[in-house]
Structure 1
Amino acid sequence: MATNRVLGWLESKKNLAGSACGLVGVSLTVTGVAGTYWPLVVAGLYGAGALIAPPEPPAPPEPVGPTEQLGGVRERFGRLREYVAEVELPAPAEGRLAELMDLYGALLEPGWVADVLAADPESVHALSRAIELDVPECVDTYNRTRWWTRLTPGGESPERHLERQLSLLSEEAARLTADLRETEARRQQTHTTYLEERGQHS
């Protein structure tokens, strides 16, 4: 680490600019202009060059891999579970939400299923969007609308909207799960085909 920092400084714009100005100080020393104070002149010119040099641009952030991204989704899912555990929902919607949360939890459970999920960026994005945005929005808007409905009854019930929203999210989760299952099925079929072809040529 220390070696990397030293090499980084040696290659930096500030060191290069300071060194260039320091060489000017050495030239003044050789010509006798700097006199007996030449060490101060060289050091001063080096420092001035280092100060006026533009700063190094910040290093770009390292790309987040699918496994790390899934870890972030898992953390947000834990917070979502805590949030929905504190809200009161009508029985049908509560049951549908519990099933949905169980499915999300199964997909995010560390292991080979999560590895399959992590290999599909679109599925990770869809699951992250549902956990971070869709489910909290469903629950939050239901609670807010229900409060207004108590003041001014009438219109379509908030419960009906909530149940429909959760049904749509469940359908999306089912499609996501089916896609991942199809991925594994294709992998199995590919291996079967490979073994059959290998047997024909042995």
Structure 2
Amino acid sequence: MATSKLLGYLESRKNLAGCGAGLLGLVLTFTGVAGAYWPLVVAGLYGAGALVAPPERVEVPGFGGEGAALDLLRADFARLRTYVTSVTPDLPPVPARRLTELTGLLDALLSHGGWERDPESLHILGRAVREDVPEAVDTYLGARWWTRLTPGGDPPEKHVVRQLSLILRDVRTLAAGVRDEKGLRQESLTRYLEDRG
């Protein structure tokens, strides 16, 4: 495990950019510019190169397709959950909480049966799992790095929180529908049992 992490870092963009900047430090040393402080110059340039390098991108998972079958959607959600778990540590606290709440609610809804009889709701779930959530997270991860290099404008955190809130609104509406349906069913059973007695 530690060996694979070390090898992963050696191949990372941050290490490669740091090594390139460190080589510039060695050139400055051999030309006499760095002087007696050459180790600090080389280390400082390596660190600066590693800091400005773009982060490694976690690829958005490929999904099974447009099929509306609940089993396909559940499999796609499993891939989405793996992706979300890998990128959540890179998110600020507020979007991370929104994303955790959203995936928890999607998990609960997809565990619920009967979506085959409601194609419109199944479409909303499929769109959230296959398009909306991965696009919002991936767009944020890309914009975050560029915002560091060119400050100004709206922070990407503001947009991703708003996007996740809008997706969460749609998913909460579906959850409220399930809750109401279950409540009506429970009331009907109570009335039936009372009338029977």
Q: Pairwise mapping of residues 59-74 of structure 1 onto structure 2 (< 5 A)?
A: 69-74=69-74
Structure 1 partner of 2:127: 129
Indicate the RMSD between aligned Cα atoms, in angstroms: 2.1
The counterpart of 2:103, out of the listed 89, 101, 106, is 101
TM-score by length of 2: 0.59
Q: Which residue of 2 aligns with 1:30?
A: none
Distance 1:177 1:118 in 2: 16
**Contact 1:107/1:117 (<8 A) preserved:** no
Query: 1:147-184 CA distances to partner (integer Å, 9 max, x unpaired)?
Result: 22122110000001111111122222211100011112
The match for 2:77 is 77
Q: Within the alignment, does 1:165 sit opposite 2:167 as a pair?
A: no
The structural deviation recorded for 1:118 is: 4.0
**3-state SS of 2:94 partner:** helix
Q: Does 1:138 align with 2:136?
A: yes
CA distance in 2, matches of 1:182, 1:118: 18
CA distance in 2, matches of 1:80, 1:159: 20
| 1:182 matched to 2:180 | yes
Aligned length: 129
Q: Give how far 1:193 is off.
A: 4.4
Q: Which residue of 2 aligns with 1:150?
A: 148
Larger Rg: 1
* Structure 2 residue aligned with 1:92: 94
Letter in 2 for 1:91: P
Unmatched segments (≥5 aa) in structure 2 = 1-66
Q: What is the rounded CA distance, in whole Å, between the counterparts of 1:167 and 1:156 in structure 2?
A: 17
* Alignment match, 2:62: none
Q: Distance in 2 between matches of 1:154 and 1:192?
A: 60
Task: Tell me what 1:51 maps to.
Answer: none
Q: Is the 8 A contact 1:146 1:158 kept in 2?
A: yes
Cα–Cα, structure 1 residues 118 and 185, in superposed 2: closer, same or farther, change >3 Å? farther
Please give the secondary structure, in 2, of the residue aligned with 1:153: coil
Report how far residue 121 of structure 1 moved.
2.1
Give the TM-score normalised by the residue count of structure 1: 0.57
Q: Separation in 1 of the partners of 2:114 and 2:84?
A: 27
Q: Quote how far apart the aligned CAs of 1:100 are.
A: 1.1
> 1:75-96: CA deviations, max 9, x gaps?
0001111112222211111111
